[in-house]
A and B are shown apart, each in its own frame.
Chain A
Amino acid sequence: NAGVTQTPKFRVLKTGQSMTLLCAQDMNHEYMYWYRQDPGMGLRLIHYSVGEGTTAKGEVPDGYNVSRLKKQNFLLGLESAAPSQTSVYFCASTFRQGPDSNQPQHFGDGTRLSIL
């Protein structure tokens, strides 16, 4: 049971380069999330998706784009990387069953991204 898998685990980019982070879950979850974690800032939501083909902005969406073409995958893109985007990125997913059900989020192990 893989759960939530993030690729790559580490990456170093130069300013202005682009890249895509992949998140895959095998739990048939509807909701998926991308967070960034910075020292002293906790986790901040970048974008999220409530189902295949839908995305929404979170707290810190600028400079990022996302796509959810397949239910099991959620991609995070950086079109033109900036040093301020150096961070640890976490993907999470959860299975919602109705308005009064709040399931915990399952997290991947993170992607460490450095932008020089």
Chain B
Amino acid sequence: AQSVTQLGSHVSVSEGALVLLRCNYSSSVPPYLFWYVQYPNQGLQLLLKYTSAATLVKGINGFEAEFKKSETSFHLTKPSAHMSDAAEYFCAVSDIRNTPLVFGKGTRLSVIA
């Protein structure tokens, strides 16, 4: 069975600081990995996805994530946080069998001025 673990339910950074949100996955077959963002009172929006092409994936709003098979990780980063990045972020995993997405429990990002 697939699973996703997001380390830290709440992360707080200063505006302009590095954002690092951690995601580790478990999958018995090659995974597809996703990061979604949820702003208050909205649905989830796709930030980026990894589907076995380049291991460094660039997404929207300056975010990127690196797939590291040896560490079973897919951490999300952004060099410089902006106030508008404050939201909840979800990591999710599927696989080549097209199984439904399994989501992590989410990490709430706060950005301090």
Which residues of A come within 8 Å of B, CB atoms?
4, 33, 35, 40-45, 48, 58, 90, 92, 96, 99-100, 102, 104-105, 107-110
**A102 touching B43 in the complex, CB below 8 Å, given contacts A42-B106, A48-B100:** no
Which residues of B come within 8 Å of A, CB atoms?
9, 32, 34, 36, 41-46, 49, 51, 90, 94, 96-98, 100-106
At the interface, is chain B mostly helix, strand, loop or mixed?
A: loop
**A102 touching B49 in the complex, CB below 8 Å, given contacts A43-B90, A107-B43, A109-B43:** yes
Across the interface, do A43 and B103 meet the contact criterion of CB distance under 8 Å? Answer: yes
**A102 touching B44 in the complex, CB below 8 Å, given contacts A40-B9, A43-B90:** no
Across the interface, do B103 and A102 meet the contact criterion of CB distance under 8 Å? Answer: no
Across the interface, do B100 and A42 meet the contact criterion of CB distance under 8 Å? Answer: no
**A90 touching B44 in the complex, CB below 8 Å, given contacts A40-B9, A42-B90, A102-B51:** yes
Across the interface, do A107 and B96 meet the contact criterion of CB distance under 8 Å? Answer: no
Across the interface, do A99 and B96 meet the contact criterion of CB distance under 8 Å? Answer: yes
Q: Which residues of B contact A108 (CB under 8 A)?
A: 43
Across the interface, do B98 and A102 meet the contact criterion of CB distance under 8 Å? Answer: yes
Across the interface, do B94 and A102 meet the contact criterion of CB distance under 8 Å? Answer: yes
A108 to chain B: closest residue by CB: B43
**A4 touching B100 in the complex, CB below 8 Å, given contacts A40-B9, A42-B105:** no
CB distance from B107 to the nearest CB of A (A): 10
**What is the CA–CA distance of A108 and B43 in the complex, to the nearest angstrom?**
5
**What is the CA–CA distance of A42 and B96 in the complex, to the nearest angstrom?**
23
Across the interface, do A100 and B104 meet the contact criterion of CB distance under 8 Å? Answer: no
Across the interface, do B49 and A96 meet the contact criterion of CB distance under 8 Å? Answer: no
A sample of 29 cross-chain residue pairs with beta-carbon separation below 8 angstroms, ordered by A number, consists of: A33-B101, A35-B103, A40-B9, A40-B105, A41-B105, A42-B103, A42-B104, A42-B106, A43-B44, A43-B103, A44-B103, A45-B100, A45-B102, A58-B100, A92-B43, A96-B98, A99-B96, A99-B98, A102-B49, A102-B94, A102-B96, A102-B98, A104-B46, A104-B49, A107-B45, A108-B43, A109-B42, A109-B43, A110-B41
